[in-house]
Each structure stands twice: as structure tokens, then as C-alpha cells.
Amino acid sequence: RKEVEQDPGPFNVPEGATVAFNCTYSNSASQSFFWYRQDCRKEPKLLMSVYSSGNEDGRFTAQLNRASQYISLLIRDSRLSDSATYLCVVNTGFKTIFGAGTRLFVKA
């Protein structure tokens, strides 16, 4: 089993749609969690951290369920510019593990 697993997609959605990504992690001692965005042939960039209480940043909502070892990212009112690969990232305190990413295509 991979340490961090994501649905690879791709997710093809129309503009304005709501889309949700899921991620599971295997190490119950993991300490911090993030969603990164990676555009094609570019470096990853931090989208948002994920907190136990859940957090929202504009159209993006992230949630963490420690009991189920599950992280989610919800994108509302999706835009063409949201097209990218979204990486689930888990930090165990000793190392940072990246998921393989979920590809999103938003179409007009």
C-alpha cells in the first residue's frame, strides 16, 4: 500500500462545477497535511494547509479526518484556471510524502 494515495483522475468538469478530491495516508503518526497544486512541467506550489477543524480559503475547502486517515479538497465554482494536478502532501515529522496527484481539467 502506498503511503499517500490519491485518485489519479483525470477529473473533467465544466466551469462552475464543484469537484472534490480525496486522499488517504497510511501513517497514523503523520503530523501535518497540505494540498499543493502543480501545473504541467512546473514546480508544485502550496495551495493550502489542512487543519483538523477544516479550513476554507475562498472557493477551496480542505478537511482532515484523523480517525479515517483521510484528507479532502473541495473546489467550488471551478474555473478554467483551476486546471492542474493537485498533490496531497503528508508530513510525518521525519519526512514529507507526496501523493501522485489528481489531475483536473476544467472546460468551458
Partner 1 sequence: GAVVSQHPSWVICKSGTSVKIECRSLDFQATTMFWYRQFPKQSLMLMATSNEGSKATYEQGVEKDKFLINHASLTLSTLTVTSAHPEDSSFYICSAYVNTEAFFGQGTRLTVV
Which stretches of the chain bind partner 1, using CB under 8 A? Answer: 4, 8, 32, 34, 36, 41-46, 49, 87, 89, 91, 95-96, 98-101
| Contact status, residue 64 vs residue 52, Cβ threshold 8 Å | yes
Min dist CB 95 to partner 1, Å, is 7
Min dist CB 16 to partner 1, Å, is 27
Nearer to partner 1, 46 or 80 (CB): 46
Alpha-carbon span 84 to 21, nearest angstrom: 13
Min dist CB 91 to partner 1, Å, is 7
Nearer to partner 1, 14 or 95 (CB): 95
Cell numbers for 34, please give them: 497540505
**Strand partners for 57:** 60
Nearer to partner 1, 60 or 98 (CB): 98
Measured between alpha carbons, how far is residue 97 from residues 66, 69, 80, 102 in Å?
17, 14, 28, 15
